[in-house]
Structure 1
C-alpha cells in the first residue's frame, strides 16, 4: 500500500504502520463498526480518536455513498461526523475529495515517536514527590476533574479503558500529597503509547510533566517496551518541548475533517 507523504524526519515505515495500528487499538471504544473498509467509532467521550471515521481500507463503494451511510450512524449516536486523515488513509486522494465535498480541516496533530528507550533514565524524585500507580476508574475521574470534563465524558473514558483490547497503566505524580500531574500508557508487544499526560495549571513550568513521562517510559521499558509513541497537538509547544527533550521526534501527522463547525 502506498502511503501519503510522511512529514518530518524519516522513520521506518513499518514502525510507523505499527504505531498507527497500536494507536487505533489503544483508543478502541465499545461503540464501533465497519462500513466498507472504514472503521467508525462513536463513543460519547472527549477523545476524537474514539468518535470519528478511520478510513483504513479502500472498500468498493464511492466515497459520497459511504459518507452518507456513515452520517446515518453518527446521527443515530447524536454525534457530528468527523473523518480522521492520516498518511495511511484510503482511498488515495481522500483528503482532497473530502475538501471538495465541503468538509473543513481542523486539529492538526503530530504522532511523535521514540525509536529506542535505551537512554530513558527514571526520574530522581525529591522526598516531597511520589509517583504512584492508580486504578483506571480513579484515573478517569482524576484527569476529568483536572480538565473540567463533564461526568458523561469521564464515564465514557472509563468504559473505553475498561474494555480496551490492550492494557493501560495509569499514574499520578503527587507533590506534598497533592496530585499535580497524571498520565498513563498502553503497552502492546514492544510498543508503548503515552496518553493523557496532564499537569494542573497552577503547577505548570516546574518540570513535572518531564518527570512524569520519564517515569512512565522507565516503567514501560521494565515491562518489555522498546519503542514509544504519543499524539500531541501541533501547536502545543510546551508539551512538544518536553517530548523533544525526552528524545521523541515527529513521525507523521494527521488531522480531522467535518462539515459541523461546532465539532471543530
Structure 2
C-alpha cells in the first residue's frame, strides 16, 4: 500500500518533533558551553525547523514508492486560479484574525505560552528575516510535508474528503499553539482542497505564502493592535468580519469555476468520486 497511511502520517508529525529535539540538543549544549542562549535565537530556531522538515521529508521519501516529482507536484497551474486564491486568502486572513481574537478573548494566552510560541514574529526580529521564515521557508516546507507527502499518501487510503480533513488536522496540530488550531485547521482544509482540485502544490504554496505575508505584515505594522495586547486580542468590527466571510465564499466559488477543465485533479485509489 502507498505510504503514508493515517497512522504513518501521525508518526511522521511525531518524528518531525523528535528530529527537532535531536538536532536542537547539540546546539543547546554548545550554547551552555559558550554561555549564550543559542537555542532562543530565531535564526537558530528557523534553521532547526528547516533541517527537521528536510530530514522528515527524506525519511518519508525512502519509505514510499513515489518519486520526488509525485511528491512535490510542481505542475504549472493556470494564472487565472491565482486571482480567486488571492480573494479567498484575504478573506481567510480577516476571518482567521477575528477567530483567533475571539479565542484569545475567551481564554487569554498565558504569558509563558506567548513567549514560547512568539517565534519570528517578535518585535525585535527584523522584518526581512520574519518575511523569509514565514513567507518563503514555512510555505515551501509545510506544503511539501503536509500536502505533498501526507495528503498524497492519505488519498490512497481514504476518500478525498477524509484525506483532506485528516491532513488539515495534522497540519493544525503541528503548530502546537492551541490558540492557533482553529485558524490553522481552516487554512489546512482550503489548501488541501486546492491541491486535490488542481493536482498541483503551487496554488497551496502561493496561498500559504500570501496568508503568512498578510499576517506578518499586519503584525509588523500593528494593523490589528499592538503585539503587547496579543494575549487577549482585539475584536474586529462586525462588518469587516462579514466582508471576510463574503470574500472566502466568493474566492472558493470562483476557484471552483475557474479550475474546471484546468489542471488534473488528484486521483485516489480509495474512491472513484470526482472533485
TM-score, normalised by the number of residues in structure 2: 0.24
1 or 2 for the larger relative contact order (CA 8 Å, sep ≥6)? 2
Q: Greater strand share, 1 or 2?
A: 1
Q: Greater helix share, 1 or 2?
A: 2
